[in-house]
Amino acid sequence: MSTAPEIRIDQLTGLRTLLAPGRAERPGAPAAGHRESVGDAAETCPLCEGREARTPPEVWANRPGGGAADSPGWQQRSAPNLYPALVPADGPAGIDGPLASGLSSSADPLAGSTRANDPDLFKKTSAEGVHEVIANVPRHATALAELDDAELAGAMAAWRERMGAHAEESSCVHLIVNEGPSGGGSLEHSHAQLFALPFVPAEIARERERHTAYNQRTMGGHLLEDVMVEEVRRRERLVAIDGEATLFCPWASRSPYELRLVPRTAEARFDRDDRGAELLGRGLRALVALFPGGVGLNLWIRSAPRGTEEFHWHLDLVPRLSTRAGFELGTGVDINTYPPERAAADLREVLAG
């Protein structure tokens, strides 16, 4: 059986799955319900400065002092993922039309079915795109919360650089940070992963549609900007605010202490903005103060898909304090046992202290 990544579409829902069996071979990956020890991670880490030969050849690096590719002296560095969920294509990673829409697809086995033409219920396509790993710092920091202000700002600048590099050729660019075993992290070294996708995932497509519909209904209003203004006015879920952005626990938070960082004025694409680093640092420090023993987390950047004008980028951060079980997995509806109003009050208290 091939280990090449592929896209499969569920016959009942039309939702996509990326099948990437090769990723099971990466060090620290979960296998048969457990994780194997990878020894002293700091001594063997392939993302630390000085071990550039242990990754695929870099595609980009921030080297303030100059220097050759795949050599020390960098502040942030990006290389193809050694265990990719997407593989490069000969042409652009995305296309216009139904495949890129996120809500329908020419690859959907039911899209063009008729009584006279039986659909292929097991259709698949190659998972073409880009999957990069971005090392946030050269030293062996194990969490974003360990980065100082300059390092965190540098990491976010690198994320913007790499997202912008793929924004025009891909249908959607999605950037994530996974930390800790509960967050799906398989390498300790603080890093982000970038996915340049040949389609717009359904959840992102749905959000895009709601931004556009709200803008048209209100004759120019921006959905997330108006939500943010109201969150600041009510203050119940507001955690922190500065001159660039706001940080709050979303009204319909899906899990305890979920955070959303939103720039104070609407900008569709994350790579065209430079706001939010200081406030993200405050949010990370607040979580460390609340959970000094450490907690896994997931972070992702929601940026406008290609060709989308009406959108408002945001950063979502979810500490892994709960488990999605049968109800959540079976219905797509999350159960959150800790109201966002209480979570925000806890976070404000530790920031004030």
Domain range summary for the chain, segments of one domain joined by +: 42-91+129-353
Contact 178, 68 (CB under 8 A): no
Please spell the DSSP secondary structure of 241-304, one letter per residue.
E-SSEEEE--TT-SSTT-EEEEESS--S-GGG----HHHHHHHHHHHHHH-TT---EEEEEE-P
Q: What is the per-residue pLDDT for 253?
A: 98
- Give the phi and the psi of residue 80 in degrees, each rounded to 5: -60, 145
- CA nearest to 48, candidates 163, 115, 136: 136
For residue 46, what is the DSSP state? T
Contact 135, 72 (CB under 8 A): no
Query: 42-91+129-353, superfamily in CATH?
Result: HIT-like (3.30.428.10)
Question: In sequence order, which ranges of the chain are alpha helices (DSSP H)?
Answer: 41-44, 98-101, 149-166, 202-217, 223-234, 277-290, 326-331, 340-352
Contact 193, 178 (CB under 8 A): yes
Residue whose token pair is 């100082």: 148
Q: What is the per-residue pLDDT for 58?
A: 98
Contact 233, 239 (CB under 8 A): no
pTM: predicted TM-score of the whole model, two decimal places: 0.90
Q: What tens-digit pLDDT sequence spans the chain (353 residues)?
A: 567 899 999 999 999 999 999 888 877 665 544 444 444 788 899 999 999 999 999 999 999 999 999 999 999 999 999 999 999 986 444 333 334 455 555 566 666 555 556 678 998 899 999 999 999 999 999 999 999 999 999 999 999 999 999 999 999 999 999 999 999 998 999 999 999 999 999 999 999 999 999 999 999 999 999 999 999 999 999 999 999 999 999 999 999 999 999 999 999 999 999 999 999 999 999 999 999 999 999 999 999 999 999 999 999 999 999 999 999 999 999 999 999 999 999 999 999 98
- Give the phi and the psi of residue 277 in degrees, each rounded to 5: -65, -45
Q: How far, CA to CA in Å, does 56 sit from each of 12, 84, 90, 164, 280?
A: 38, 11, 19, 21, 30
Q: What is the per-residue pLDDT for 9?
A: 94
Beta strands 238-241 and 245-248 are antiparallel
